Structures are given as structure tokens and as C-alpha cells.
Amino acid sequence: MAGKRERIAQLLDRTRVTDVLLALRARTPPAWLTILTYHRVGTPSADDPLPDETFDASDGLFAEQIRFLSERFNFVSTDEVVEFLHGRSLPPNPAMITFDDGYRECLTGALPILQDYGARATFFIATDYIEQRKLFWWDRIGLLVSRATNDPIVLDYPMPMRLPKAEAYKTLNGLVKSEVGLDLGRLMDHLEERSGASISSEEEQAMVDALIMTWDEIHQLSDAGMDIQSHTRSHRVLQTLLPEQLADELAGSRAVLEERMGLPVKTVAYPVGYRVNDAPSITRALDEAGYEAGYTNQTGPVPTWGSIDRFDVNRIAMSEIYQDAFFRSVMAFPPLAFG
Ligand SMILES: [Zn+2]
């Protein structure tokens, strides 16, 4: 499938159809709103013990993507998307840049590039990690597994498991994303004990300060004209939460952000990004927490015709495949995107 889409993209680009499509669309009401999701920009260092899957583009690739967009698209803000969902129209060729989680590269890598091209972006922040200065759960799992002195790692919680060290990160990452009612703190303590690895609190503070923004740094993004919105408190998949946890994750993160930033928080990007339209308890909780819209991920472009579910706004997950002809063609013809 990827091969076929890439061949179509090459053809569109070589024949300049991408330019023609974008030029035409610049003069017509937008057919698609294209929202791109990033986490980190830059290049992981070879000796970093943390998983590198959160890097979505090198600095150079990100600059190239933003340069291309700045010449042909109108960057839209959180408010413009919320107003669009309430019936207002969007500018031609609308694109939205979003960053999830709260990694420091948002400030040190992405912001200077965004500013070079006059681009505005929205940053979704998982507030517990900023407040408590602790590693994101997936980075903590990755670090403990990479340092494990026991192989296999034998766990009893949440079920008996013998995990070969080489597979443990992937298995545990999947488990946290799918296990309903999981006590994440208990799993982390159990993994630390059974892996034989440890992280001292001084070491964790140093890593967190290098890895995750502080409130001061998030204020710098906001002062530069960027939007700051919610990515819940502890970055758990909404579908795995018990009702009281769900309410706390949604309302709690919104309250913390509004207090810390002094700005309204109207939207949330769902951790991991699964759709919620088949879960009325989740859409009800989103409404009760005061959100006007929610973003999924890996779900494709947003078609602007027909009705759009304001709690299932699609985004396209960026990665290194979005280079050159493929990136240009996806932006010209968004259904080519990989969700
Ligand atoms: Zn995230």
C-alpha cells in the first residue's frame, strides 16, 4: 500500500500536479483542513538510552516542511479551528501544526523554525510531567528496560509475564495503552524492582530538565504567539481509564493549564490519539470538562464538507516518510496520507 501511494505521489509531483492543485485550492473554499502532529524535532543521539520513536523530523526536514507550507498554506490557530467547528469558514489551504507531550525540542528546535517562517502552532501539554518533573511513562519504561540486568524480565503485575529484554519495551508500551484500570505507578515500581535497573531521583531530575519543558519554557512558547492546550494530565489512553480518572485527567489538566498559563483551554489532543466517537462516556466527560473540541491522531485529513465530529478531529502523524515529493503530494492531495 505504501509503495502504491508513494508512486502516485512521485507522479503527482513530477508532473507538477501538486502545484496546480494547490494553486487552484488557494482560490476556492478549502476542501480539507490538514493538521500535522509532531512530538520532537531533531536527531536522537546514538548514546541516548531513551526510545527514539518520538522524533518525527530532523531540524532540516521540519524546516523544509514549514517553508513549503508557509509559501502555499494558511496556518490556523486553535481558535480558528474551534470557530470552524461552530460553522465559521477557514482561510484557503488551511494547515495546522501541532506538537504533543511537552518535549523541550518544542522550544529549542521547533520554535525558531516556526518563527523564521511566520508559522503558528499549537502545543498539547501532558501537565503532570511538567508539574511533577518526572519522565514520561514510555521513556521511563524504555530507560528501565535498556538498563535491565535481568533477562527475561519476570513480572506478576498486571498479569504473569516473562518478557525477553529485547521485546519488553514494545510489550509494556502496548500494555499501558490497552489495559483498562491499570495502576501505572504500581507497574512502574514493579518493573523497576524486577528489571534490576534503577534511576536515582537526582538523575531523573537532570534527565527531565533536559527532556521536558518547564512552565517558564511553555510561557516562552505562548509569549511567542503559540497556542498551549491540553494533552491530559498523565498521558493515559482515555479508553483505559475508570470514570473518576477520566474526569480528573480531562478537567484537571484543563484547570492546571488555565491557572498556569492564564489563558483559556478549549481543546485536548487524546494521548495516543484513538477516536472516541463510539464511546459516549468519553464524549460526555469531554463536554463536562468544558472542552469544545478533541483531536485524534493517525486519522488523516479533515474533510471540510459534511459534518465533522468536534470530538474526533483528524490529524496526520508526521514521520520521516513525509519528505520531498511525498510530503508535497500529501499536502496537495491529503487522502494520500497514512492516516
Ligand atoms: Zn502524546
168-to-197, 228, 318 alpha-carbon distances in Å: 13, 34, 25
CA atoms of 307 and 158, how far apart (whole Å)? 41
Q: Mean pLDDT throughout 127-133? A: 98
339 and 299 in contact (C-beta within 8 Å)?
yes
Residues flanking ion ligand 1, Cβ below 5 Å: 100-101, 271
Instruction: State the average pLDDT for the chain.
Output: 95
208 three-class SS: helix
Q: Mean pLDDT throughout 77-91? A: 96
Q: Mean pLDDT throughout 161-187? A: 97
Closest by CA to 327, choosing from 16, 28, 64, 52, is 64
Strand partners, 316: 36
CA atoms of 51 and 38, how far apart (whole Å)? 16
CA of 17 to the centre of ligand 1 (A): 34
Residue 184 carries which side chain, given as an amino acid letter?
L
Give the pTM. 0.96
Q: How does residue 2 score in pLDDT terms, banded at 50, 70 and 90? A: low
Q: How does residue 4 score in pLDDT terms, banded at 50, 70 and 90? A: confident
Q: Residue 1: pLDDT above 70?
A: no
Q: Are strands 40-41 and 55-57 parallel, antiparallel or unpaired?
A: parallel
Locus of grid cell 459516549: 280
Give the per-residue pLDDT at 339. 65
CA of 295 to the centre of ligand 1 (A): 11
Least confident stretch, 22-26, 144-148, 197-201:
22-26
231 three-class SS: coil
CA of 100 to the centre of ligand 1 (A): 5
CA atoms of 265 and 282, how far apart (whole Å)? 18
- Cell numbers for 89, please give them: 469558514
21 and 37 in contact (C-beta within 8 Å)?
no
CA of 124 to the centre of ligand 1 (A): 8
CA of 53 to the centre of ligand 1 (A): 12
